[in-house]
Structure 1
Amino acid sequence: MEGDEEGVRSALDRDARPKVTVPTDAGVSWSLLTVAASEGHEHLLSLLLQAGLSIEGGGTTDRTPLMMAAQNGHAHTAHTPVHVASYGGHVEVLEQLAGAGWPLTAKNSDGHTPMHFAAAGGRVTCVQWLVQRGGDTSIQNNAGHTPLDLVGSGEGQEGGRMQTVLRSGSKFNR
C-alpha cells in the first residue's frame, strides 16, 4: 500500500499507541506487527519493531508475526526480525533482538543472512555491528552471492567504507 509507511510514521510521531491490538473474525486479536506480517507489508515491520512492539506478536493469539507471514505465503516477510532490522539500519533493534536470543546469522529461504540484508540496504553501521559480533562477510546465499556482491556501485565514502568492511571482515572502532 503506497503511503502507508508515511502514515504509520506520522501516527507514531504524534504519539499513537502502537501496542493496540486488532480483533479478527476468528475471535482473537493481533498486534499491529502481526497484521503487517500477515498482510505482507514488509516495509512496516522495522517501523513497528522500532516503536517497541514485541517480535513475538501480541493480542490473544499464540501465532507470531513470522508464523502468520509464512502461513499466508508472504515469503518476503518471512525473514526474521533480524533481517528486517538489518536492512532498515536499526542497530538499536538489532541489539534488542540479539539480547532476546534471536540469531544474527539466520538464513532466509534465499540463503540471505542479516549481513546480506544490511549490505543490500547500504547500512554500513549495521554491517559493522554484525562484523563486530562475529558475522561472516564471506557467506554465500543460494545464488552464490556474498554480502559484498549485494553492495551497489560503492561510490562515495559510505560505499567505499562498506566495501572495506565486507572485504576485510575487520572490526571498526565504535
Structure 2
Amino acid sequence: MKTTSITRGFALSALAAAALVAPAQPALADGSYFLPIGQGCADFNLEWSWTGTITHTKEFFDKNGNKVRLLSAGKGTVNTYTNYGTKAKKPVAGESITIRTDGSVTETVYNPDGSQTVTATGHNGLIMFPSDVPAGPSTTHYTGKIVYTIGTDGVFTLVSTSGPSIDVCAALAS
C-alpha cells in the first residue's frame, strides 16, 4: 500500500500495513493518516483510520533474486473517514463515515522498468492526489476490483475499477 506511501496517491485497504511487515508474516496494525485540504478531499482536511488489520504477505523473487511480485491477503478492517474541516492549524473533527470491510487481496507486480502494477480485490480505498491520473484530490472506497499502476516517479494511474464505490469526499461534504 507504495500502498502505505503518503507522497503522491496511495491505496487504503485492509492490507494497509502489509508493506511494513516481513514476508509471509501476519500483521496486526491499526493506524491513521491525516491529509490536509487538497490531498484527500478538495474542500476539507481528511483523516482515514483503520482498526483490525490482520494480513499475510508473501514476496516472490526471480532466479536472480529480484523481487517480482508481492501478494497480500487479509481479513476485513473497520475504516473510518472523518471530515476535519478547513482550518489548517486547528482541525476539528466533524462528520465521519465508518465502513466495515470483509477483506481484500492485493497483488503487486514489479515491472522491469521499475514501475508497479497493483490489482486489488475485495474492499479497498484509493486516494488520488493532484499529481495522479486522473488528477485528485479524491478518496473513493471500492468493493470489487481496482487496477492501478505506480510509476517510477510515484504517480498513481488508475487503470480500471469494477463494482460499487463510495465517493468519500461527497459523503462527508454535508
TM-score of the pair, normalised by structure 1: 0.24
Judging by fraction of residues, say which structure has more strand: 2
Report 1 or 2 for greater relative contact order, CA contacts < 8 Å, sequence distance ≥ 6.
2
Q: Which has the larger radius of gyration?
A: 1
Judging by fraction of residues, say which structure has more helix: 1
